[in-house]
Structure 1
Amino acid sequence: MKPGVDPGLVHHNGVNLVAIRLADDEVARALPPSEVIELGFETKRIFDKAQESQPWLPAPSAWAATATMFGTAGSAGRGMGSTQPSPSDTRACSPSLLGTRHCAETSTPGNDASAPVTTSDTCARVVPLQPMELKSALERRKQQTRTPYRADGWERALRDAGLEGEYGDVVLGLRHGFRVGFPQVGRTQAPRNSESVLANQGHFTKILFNELGKGRWIGPVSRRVMESVMGPFQSSPLSIIPKPTPGKFRVIQNFSFPNRPSSQYPLPSVNSHIDASNFPCTCGTFRATCLLISALPEGSQMAVRDVAEAYRTIPLHCSQWSAAVVQAGEDEFLVDVCVAFGSASSGGVYGLVADAACAIMRARGIGPVTKWVDDHPFFRVLRERLEEFNETRHRWQRMVEEGGRHQSRSRVWYGGGILPDGDVFEMFEDCTFALQDLSTACSCTGDDGRFAYCMADVDRVSEELGIPWEHSKDVPFSSKAPYLGFVWDLKQRTVSLSSEKAAKYRLAIEEWRRRPKHPLEDVQQLYGKLLHASLVIPAGRAQLVGLERALGNAYNSPFMLRHPPRSVGPDLDWWIARLQQPNLTRSVIIPEQLVDLQPFSDASTGTGIAIVIGGRWRAWRLLPGWRTRAGRKEIGWAEAVGFYFLVVAVTKLVSPGTHIRLYGDNEGVVRGWRNSRSRKSAVNGIFKLALDFLESVGFIGCIHCEYVPSGANPADAPSRGVYPSYDLLLPPIDIPAVLIPFVIDALSPLTSSKLGTADIECVETCGEDDSDGGEDAGVGDNGPDEFSALVSAI
């Protein structure tokens, strides 16, 4: 490599790529040697270098009393102003910065300046700060944080509600900044930004000036100036991605860079120093939302509000700044003084503030209310049903008192008791405060007057605290509203995946399949989308095991391109077909009790399978060679087949939608069913059969499995060939085509054809738990997971 050439730049197919570093051996191996060219490349500057010959006026800071202005520009008002360039001004503007000439002047501390409206035919400049100017700007920020929240209002509200002990750190953080776990930096490390910043330079520039105008980025300065004021610093590569709203983009700081330290980048990543469990907060999870909606009285409504630029409203403590520097261009650095997207602690730090806001709302009688990051769903009940629902909340409060407060990694939840469906009771609050009828204390009229509160009550508290709602995203109160990426229907008590979201996920699958090999990030993105969809489509959980194997294969070599396991192909076929269905909806009802018909299943390795329902029985014999035909199978597979037969039998005895308890003595099957999938390929294939069957007959999420010891399992004896009276036989069950080569009804004769190999290819494998293909198994192998392939084909 030539002296002075950045080793992190490569030339690939005629395009200069930034932030692909040859120090990463895996990336280097992914590119042919002929496409790695050692040549210099000058990164575009965002800001022009300061030149004494140019009549610039000084700029103490992005919020100082003296504006940053062109010598030829007219005076500007407060905040971010804009002027048209003078016709006589012929100085060259940075080609990388598209926008209006403007000044960034300090507004009153605590008030945000507006970002300029940018156009594509003019240029913008900001003068780099000198050492004393940067030092002065940072000292001012230490004295006065920049946040829309009103710390005095929070202090009063928390004190009045008796919550100052639980949330006192919020007030301290709003006044002085939050410590987020960033390390003290011993040497400067400043990697280049992602290529996406150059590819979306116009959008990046708009974001940059928005951050400057709102006083959240302070600068720009050279590396020399930054080090002279702050000492050594660490920046993390920036990237820019589109938001769901067309035309809007989000900047992400890759605080996880480098993936591992190297000679070029010896400092570990900022995120490697952070334990997210030290920054816990509550979340309105899918399960908790189902539990709440299931219990809401008839006629209840839901609204949703979104906090504007949520993370960016949270100030950083000055001790964190040296690890929060951002690089805007060649030798152009700024100090980020607010929480950023990409830090492992950002969600928890913002979440603590949002938790405190929700707690204050509840103390004022507003609710139920919860949140997922910046989305806040508000629920309200009819005044006439308020007492009834408060009784439900009081019952939940007792359950919370018994179960206590829990923390799972970085999530806080309350409860702990086991509900009838076998899952844990979990709530996002402790239900201490009763809901109040606020209708007489506000100006709510019309339909709002029928309910316990309205948005005017929320607005009063929000004004007191300074909560910056993004009102363009408000979803008004109704029986139906979006939340967590789903559409919730309180009247029908259902949750749906919208047709738009389903189409988006189908497109993601199609794009993913255009490439034969994928790095870890590709697998993560597709897996995350389909895992999200499986909350509404529970049968999809078993169709993700192949992608889970791909995640495991790629974990230690995240940049290496790998073939996915062979089972991923049929799984994605299933997903495409399912996402094309017009109505992707499921019930959210959490049952208060389960129907117990005393249904049991069991299997015996040497004999067969049996089910017992209320003393009546049915049995099947395992055919010779079942263990090795179409892939090696263990007893867990036979137990899963028995469970499938039991599912088919019990659903014929009750109406659709009935929640039923089943019993089995195989812990792997019971535990796997609770997770809707098994890592054992053969067992997972049976789960796929069962889940698809339940969807087809209207029992989505209605089968709940419980473990029972073998000695207490009445299906144990008939599974070993010890049959009860034939007078107690259950009706026969149609055996799916995929299972015919393996089992036969115990009352059917065992013919010579059944004793043979059956009309199916026998394939020996090294074990049912082995990888079902992918990079490690070799491309083109005729799969070890023949049974799962058969299930998918059926």
Structure 2
Amino acid sequence: VENVLRPAILPLLLPEQRRRAPTFGASCASQRTRDTPSEHAQPSLASTGRSNTSFAGQVVASSLRIPSSPSASTINSKVVQPSVGPTALTVAPTVVLAGTAPPHANDSLPAHPTSSWDRPFVLLADAFEAELRHFGLLHRHSSLLSGLRSGFHIGIPALTNTLIQNNHNSARSHPEIISTTIQRELTAGRYRGPFSSEQLQSIIGPFQNSPLGLVPKGLEQWRLIQDFSWPRAGNSINSHLSSDSWPTTWGASRDVVRTLLALPVTAQAAVRDVADAFRILVLHSSQWPGTVVRGEDGLFYVDMCLGFGLAPATGVWGAVADALADICRAHGLGPILKWVDDFIFFTVPLSALDTVNASRARLATTITGPQSRGGVSFFADADNMEHVEDYQFPLRNHVAAASDELVSSLAAITAITAPLGVPWKREKDVDFCSAPIYIGFQWYIFDQCVALPDSKRLKYLDAISDWQQHPSHSLHDAQALFGKLQHASFVV
């Protein structure tokens, strides 16, 4: 199994080339010398694990396929890219199912007295509306605007009884970490409190807190989780919610392959992360009774923002991210793919712009319309292939003054997104280069190859070595190693 993780780079292949694919792309390996992004661009396994439950003792790294409910995710997590094929990277047709639009906010729900509280809105609803209206995209994202203005309704029902639950043992064992986290959220304006249970119920009526827990993050760090799926056999907050109500696009590995095969080898890509993506979205005040946090001091706090462990959280954020990507495309940026809060922006030299736009125009004629399947939305073409966009807008030159210069830049992206209030995590920006790291893989654009980043490959080898040192293993350990190997199998 260790041979799987020896240095290897696999070529990007068209479906008809799959049978004659080599086991390892040796010819590509000799050219691995260009523009390797810095280490901080790599999403770690710990930060990308997906699970349908949100408490620490569950799966650390689960199957890398797109789940039927990609919105049900571990708190404070990103999502590992799906495994879409064996050795050769191929784009396979899929069955197109009937689509549904994202749900409109139910403005008939009564607001609680807390609606007078200051709410930490970050994104600028008026700017989003102006851009969407200007480019004729308002019909596609009409349900978004009420959420940006008044807070998002995600389906938490009116509660009839107050349910107070203890935090999990991991949180109770480290009260200082819980206290520090609560203080940080209060300072950011995302929590309101503290309140006694009597005070809080007099303000918002019956409420339910979901237990807090801690999971290890590295050797000396912890990640706070909120277990919205607790109690497992009772009326947890997540038991009322559906991730399928919020379908969103997913720029998976197969989409990277399709994009790169459609671009010249002189293309480059930049990677950017939205800072505090979920937490910059405010929930409607009618939802707050279901997002209460209990501190280890016995006091309670109202979390006014979208929590990572809520079942539809990735889809709610995805509605915003889809609109953001569409606005950028309308301005002529792209191609653009995204996975939760990670965006990869491709660009080409000015000399290739006309050719690429002609190809995009041809693709646009094949798109039959938007579809969705569970929590996944996409555009289908006549051959039942899934695309993350409809290729409506041509790419434009934003910065190039000479034929060999790129037509886009990080500054050009910021100029378009800053008026919307989008906060990029600048310390994680990876500027345009020919070997970006996105969704856990390094993409060698010039060579049309893909590989595991060295740091991830060595990490996986260490995990195998550690596994071999012990005669038996827990289910948790087996699941964690399985997730690592399944991720690696994409380039085998």
Give yes or no for TM over 0.5.
Answer: yes
**Shorter-chain TM-score: which interval?**
0.7 to 0.9
Q: 2:322 aligns with which of 349, 352, 355?
A: 355
Q: 1:371 aligns with which of 322, 338, 343?
A: 338
Counterpart of 1:204 in structure 2 is: 178
Q: 2: CA distance between counterparts of 1:485 and 1:230?
A: 43
Q: Which runs of 5+ in 2 are unaligned?
A: 1-54, 58-111
Counterpart of 1:498 in structure 2 is: 453
Letter of the 1:474 partner, please give it.
D
Q: 1: CA distance between counterparts of 2:217 and 2:361?
A: 41
Q: 2: CA distance between counterparts of 1:200 and 1:225?
A: 26
* Pairs within 5 Å for 1:218-229: 218-229=192-203
SS class of match (1:476): strand
Counterpart of 2:388 in structure 1 is: 428
Q: 1: CA distance between counterparts of 2:171 and 2:242?
A: 29
Counterpart of 1:272 in structure 2 is: 239
SS class of match (1:437): coil
Q: Is the 8 A contact 2:56 2:215 kept in 1?
A: no
Shift of 1:405: 2.1
Q: Is the 8 A contact 1:148 1:313 kept in 2?
A: yes
Matched, 1:313 2:271: no
* Pairs within 5 Å for 1:432-447: 432-439=392-399
Shift of 1:396: 1.8
Shift of 1:522: 4.7
1:131-164 Cα distance to aligned partner (Å, 9 max, x none): xxxx97x3333xx531221111111111111111
Q: 1:257 aligns with which of 230, 238, 246?
A: 230
Q: Is the 8 A contact 1:416 1:426 kept in 2?
A: yes
Letter of the 2:421 partner, please give it.
G
SS class of match (1:407): strand
Q: 1: CA distance between counterparts of 2:310 and 2:483?
A: 19
1:739-759 Cα distance to aligned partner (Å, 9 max, x none): xxxxxxxxxxxxxxxxxxxxx
Q: 1:301 to 1:356 in 2, by over 3 A?
A: same
1:47-99 Cα distance to aligned partner (Å, 9 max, x none): xxxxxxxxxxxxxxxxxxxxxxxxxxxxxxxxxxxxxxxxxxxxxxxxxxxxx
Q: 1:186 to 1:346 in 2, by over 3 A?
A: same
SS class of match (2:272): strand
Counterpart of 1:140 in structure 2 is: 116
Matched, 1:323 2:297: no
Matched, 1:391 2:365: no
Q: 2:270 aligns with which of 299, 303, 307?
A: 303
Counterpart of 1:525 in structure 2 is: 480
Counterpart of 1:34 in structure 2 is: none
Q: 1:523 to 1:371 in 2, by over 3 A?
A: same
Matched, 1:381 2:348: yes
Q: 1: CA distance between counterparts of 2:466 and 2:159?
A: 41
Q: 1: CA distance between counterparts of 2:265 and 2:321?
A: 28
Q: 1:197 to 1:271 in 2, by over 3 A?
A: same
Q: 1:405 to 1:20 in 2, by over 3 A?
A: closer
Shift of 1:353: 0.2
Q: 2:150 aligns with which of 176, 189, 197?
A: 176
SS class of match (2:338): coil
Q: 1:503 to 1:363 in 2, by over 3 A?
A: same
Q: 1: CA distance between counterparts of 2:283 and 2:427?
A: 27
Q: Is the 8 A contact 2:247 2:375 kept in 1?
A: yes
Q: 1: CA distance between counterparts of 2:447 and 2:201?
A: 61
Q: 1:407 to 1:295 in 2, by over 3 A?
A: same
Counterpart of 1:483 in structure 2 is: 438
SS class of match (2:491): coil
Counterpart of 2:472 in structure 1 is: 516
1:271-313 Cα distance to aligned partner (Å, 9 max, x none): 1211211011111011111110111112100000001111101
Q: 2: CA distance between counterparts of 1:516 and 1:498?
A: 29
1:595-639 Cα distance to aligned partner (Å, 9 max, x none): xxxxxxxxxxxxxxxxxxxxxxxxxxxxxxxxxxxxxxxxxxxxx
1:633-685 Cα distance to aligned partner (Å, 9 max, x none): xxxxxxxxxxxxxxxxxxxxxxxxxxxxxxxxxxxxxxxxxxxxxxxxxxxxx
1:327-378 Cα distance to aligned partner (Å, 9 max, x none): 1114211111000111110000001101000000001111111210110101
Q: Which runs of 5+ in 1 are unaligned?
A: 1-18, 22-134, 262-267, 419-423, 538-794
Matched, 1:405 2:370: yes
Shift of 1:242: 4.8
SS class of match (2:486): helix
Q: TM-score, normalised by structure 1?
A: 0.46
Counterpart of 1:215 in structure 2 is: 189
Q: 1:248 to 1:178 in 2, by over 3 A?
A: farther
Shift of 1:475: 0.3
Q: 1:357 to 1:515 in 2, by over 3 A?
A: farther
SS class of match (1:146): coil
Q: 2: CA distance between counterparts of 1:391 and 1:20?
A: 49
Letter of the 2:416 partner, please give it.
V
Shift of 1:249: 4.5
Letter of the 1:250 partner, please give it.
R
SS class of match (2:432): strand
Shift of 1:417: 4.6
Q: Is the 8 A contact 2:335 2:345 kept in 1?
A: yes
Q: Is the 8 A contact 1:145 1:176 kept in 2?
A: no
Q: 1:410 to 1:227 in 2, by over 3 A?
A: same
RMSD over equivalenced CA pairs, Å: 2.5
Q: Is the 8 A contact 1:299 1:381 kept in 2?
A: yes
Q: 2: CA distance between counterparts of 1:145 and 1:236?
A: 21
Q: 1:331 to 1:481 in 2, by over 3 A?
A: same
Deviates more, 1:303-312 or 1:383-392: 383-392
Shift of 1:445: 7.2
Shift of 1:206: 3.0
Moved over 6 A (4+): 444-447
1:558-600 Cα distance to aligned partner (Å, 9 max, x none): xxxxxxxxxxxxxxxxxxxxxxxxxxxxxxxxxxxxxxxxxxx
Q: 1:507 to 1:342 in 2, by over 3 A?
A: farther
Shift of 1:512: 5.7
Q: 2: CA distance between counterparts of 1:179 and 1:206?
A: 29
Letter of the 2:241 partner, please give it.
I
Counterpart of 1:193 in structure 2 is: 167
Letter of the 1:476 partner, please give it.
D
Higher relative contact order (CA 8 A, sep 6+): 2
Q: Is the 8 A contact 2:329 2:336 kept in 1?
A: yes
SS class of match (1:167): coil
Q: TM-score, normalised by structure 2?
A: 0.73
SS class of match (2:140): helix
Shift of 1:233: 0.9
Q: 1: CA distance between counterparts of 2:377 and 2:156?
A: 22
Q: 1: CA distance between counterparts of 2:183 and 2:119?
A: 19
Letter of the 2:378 partner, please give it.
W
Q: Is the 8 A contact 1:145 1:174 kept in 2?
A: no
Q: 2: CA distance between counterparts of 1:346 and 1:20?
A: 18
1:16-61 Cα distance to aligned partner (Å, 9 max, x none): xxx999xxxxxxxxxxxxxxxxxxxxxxxxxxxxxxxxxxxxxxxx
